[in-house]
């Protein structure tokens, strides 16, 4: 069977990439995201974690200012009725062997530039003010110069949280 020129071209390009040592993809990495997690620690004597039913009640309020005064909108978690909605939602991610996590949407989306947030967990009788979100990327170096995340920080209830290497957990 004779190889087509297209297959030969791809094989040649792959061989050249292997020889040059560059294993970068052609796509830009996604923008950095600031994530927070709900502590799952509910079984210890302190019991500072959240139960799943409490997490399901959580919603996020976005504000246009750093002082949490000018409300933009409220993001709710998706339900079967809103799964195909075009409005912004507040998804919580449940990953295997990880606490439930969510992304603080601090970037411009749908012409909304939120500057601060309030996470409300009604069934746990808790709220968290999230301000001063800082997401920075620096240029990469070498042959594969994809940008890398250099800073991921936010203030949560007055405490600075660094999320560069580990997702900070919220407790009750």
Q: Residue 120 forms beta bridges with which residues?
A: 59, 127
Q: What percent of the chain has pLDDT over 90?
A: 41
Residues near 13 by beta carbon (within 8 Å), at least 6 away in sequence: none
Taking the C-alpha atoms of residue 61 and residue 156, their distance in angstroms, rounded to an integer, is 14
| Strands of the 126-138 sheet, one edge to the other | 71-75, 59-63, 116-121, 126-138, 148-156, 159-162
Where is average pLDDT lowest: 113-117, 118-122, 128-132, 157-161?
113-117
More confident residue, 96 or 9: 96
Taking the C-alpha atoms of residue 18 and residue 148, their distance in angstroms, rounded to an integer, is 23
Q: What percent of the chain has pLDDT over 70?
A: 74
pLDDT tens track for 120-154: 999 999 999 999 988 887 877 766 677 777 888 99
Taking the C-alpha atoms of residue 145 and residue 157, their distance in angstroms, rounded to an integer, is 36
- What phi, psi does 93 have (nearest 5°)? -100, 125
Taking the C-alpha atoms of residue 90 and residue 86, their distance in angstroms, rounded to an integer, is 12
Residue 7, SS3 per DSSP: helix
The whole-model pTM stands at 0.75
């Amino acid at each position: 069977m004779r190889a087509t020129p297209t297959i030969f071209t791809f094989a040649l390009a792959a061989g050249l990439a292997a020889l040059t040592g560059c294993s970068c993809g052609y796509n830009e990495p996604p923008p950095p995201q600031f994530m927070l997690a709900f502590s799952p620690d509910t079984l210890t004597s302190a019991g500072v974690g959240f139960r799943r039913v409490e997490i399901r009640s959580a919603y996020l309020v976005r504000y246009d200012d750093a002082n949490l005064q000018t409300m933009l909108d409220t993001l709710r978690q998706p339900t079967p009725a809103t799964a195909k909605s075009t409005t912004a939602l507040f998804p919580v991610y449940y990953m295997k062997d990880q606490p439930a996590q969510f992304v603080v949407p601090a970037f411009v989306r749908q012409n909304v530039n939120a500057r601060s947030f309030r996470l409300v967990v009604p069934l746990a009788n808790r709220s968290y003010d999230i301000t001063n979100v800082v997401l920075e990327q620096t240029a990469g170096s070498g042959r594969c110069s994809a940008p890398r995340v250099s800073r991921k920080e936010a203030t949560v209830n007055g405490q600075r949280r660094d999320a560069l290497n580990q997702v900070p957990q919220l407790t009750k």
